[in-house]
A and B are shown apart, each in its own frame.
Chain A
Amino acid sequence: MSDLTPGLNLAEIDPEGALNESIASGVSRSGFLRGLLALTAGAATVVAADQAFGAISRTGDSAILNPLLIIECMQAEFYRRAADSGQLPANYARLANEIAAIEAAHVAGLKNALGGAANDDPYLNFRGTTENPMRFIRTAVALEDLSTSTLAGVMDDFESEDNLTTVAAIYTAEARHSAGVRLAAGEHPAPSPVQKWESLPKVRKLLNETGFLTPKPTTVARQSPAFTG
């Protein structure tokens, strides 16, 4: 097992041993996702991902592009907050900042494509994974795997071949991110000869279980003000 952060006691951040187990078991995507889920499952909030997915248009390419938008938003925010946290070593912070910019461009592109059919940005709580070097890099690997396997799973569903072309171009960028974060994590950059894929219902379930998607706080109310006037 690679020692990513000398001096860091893995047991302190992973009391259940799930992350340790996933690292020891190799680089399987499902193992990483299980590790990710075990870290966050206590606070899993099913309703949030259902809200995020539930409002999507069910017809045409927007039914595919909206879930992709949620995943790209999640990645963009994850890297952005990691870069902002001030808690990561310089090499991780730099990696996070560079990938955040590209994920943000993907978000902008998907919003361009969806126009008024775009879902609202999801509300995200990364539960400390952006503030700890070990948890950050393991979560980055898991999110990149989730992203590439989701993209691989929707390739055959597009009505517009032009949309397919652009999403395939995004896919190659995500594959490079996946390799990059794996290398940073001390893992093999491309452990499998082919990319596994996941169906959108499975992706929805996985997103629910991460607990990263959380209900939006109530910041708007139908109430008469009691301000000083």
Chain B
Amino acid sequence: MSILSIENLYANVGENEILRGINLKIEPGEVHAVMGPNGSGKSTLSYVLAGRDGYSVTRGKVAFKDKDLLELEADERANEGVFLAFQYPVEVPGVTGMTFMREAYNSRLRYEGKQEADAMEFLKLVRSKAKDLNMSDDMLKRPVNVGFSGGEKKRNEILQMAVLEPQLAVLDETDSGLDIDALKLVADGINALRTKERSMLIITHYQRLLDYIEPDHVHVLADGKIQRSGGKELALELEANGYAEFAGKG
């Protein structure tokens, strides 16, 4: 069974049709990169998968394993195992990282009908995950993302992903706003989370993230549609030639 199966997906943001017939299948353990120019619908795709309000699907199907993903609320999708790493992680004043992540973690346990973790258990878990990723857990004492640097915000997303252990991670422009050192740290974190079961969908404008995270498949998204698919060499081709070839198609 595929982890994610998107068939002929059309979606609007407000009145505007942004996605126009996307087809994509992701198998367990696969890493897919969706690349495309600005305005091609990359972020819309990630929000549609995560279930954000205001993004309405007009046609098509999305299955997550054997579930109809589009029937589920955003929180249910997360609890089923879909994780969106945000392009712009949101600052949440007053809620500490620890509270936020424990609520998230316990929501998942409740959803699965399991016993919630108490504060001590959870603290131990987070510390060990942070250690695996070579990160300090200090940021968890601060309100979520408030005053964080771009790099800290992205690493915080990766730590959340490590704790929540999703089956499918959608990484939306994870490289944006990062200098090369921060990019490398974040990429290391993502690579550490690659497993045979966990699939990833990497959404990116530039090829450079793919220097550090090697994809199995690369797709070019333009005008709301996948225009071309190939192996990792397609990313290099795009880097050399740009997206001009795909402009105006669709």
Do A and B originate from a single complex? no
A residues engaging B (CB < 8 A)? Answer: none
